Amino acid sequence: MPEIKDLEAEAAVINEGCTVLEVLNRVSGKWSIGILLQTIHGPVRFTELERSVGGISRRMLTLTLRNLERDGLLIRTVYPTVPPKVEYCATDMARELYSSLLELTGWAERHRETIAAARQTYDVEH
């Protein structure tokens, strides 16, 4: 029978893994990457994001922005004007993520034909 310390250590590893999965799910979400790409070069207003991230609803944009801000990937700045002016800007952590996304994009570009050929072969065989 496993000792309590072993079970606690295993639970800690599982919790740590869940956190990593949560982060990966957040940044790889359908809308997150588009929003991060728009904010990487400087502050962007809500309405600009709404126009530039094609197909996103106002509600989903609001939820995604809140989640990215909560995770420390965006900074939300509210200016005391009427109506209030709100801007979003990528954090240093988001800029670091951007470089990783560029590497991943490069990998996908280099291997897309190989992947397409593998899919075709698989589909023919199955």
Q: What is the pLDDT of residues 65-123, one digit of tens each?
A: 999 999 999 999 999 999 889 999 999 999 999 888 888 878 989 999 999 999 999 99
Q: What CATH number corresponds to the domain at position 36?
A: 1.10.10.10
21 falls within a domain: no
Residue 58 domain boundaries:
31-125
11 falls within a domain: no
Into how many domains does the chain fold?
A: 1
96 falls within a domain: yes
16 falls within a domain: no
Q: What is the pLDDT of residues 52-68, one digit of tens each?
A: 998 999 999 999 999 99
Of 54, 21, 52, 24, whose CA–CA distance to 39 is shortest? Answer: 52
In this prediction the pTM is 0.72
Q: What is the pLDDT of residues 9-37, one digit of tens each?
A: 555 555 555 677 887 888 888 899 889 98
Contact 122, 102 (CB under 8 A): no
The one-character DSSP state at 41 is: T
77 falls within a domain: yes
44-45 vs 85-90, strand pairing mode: antiparallel
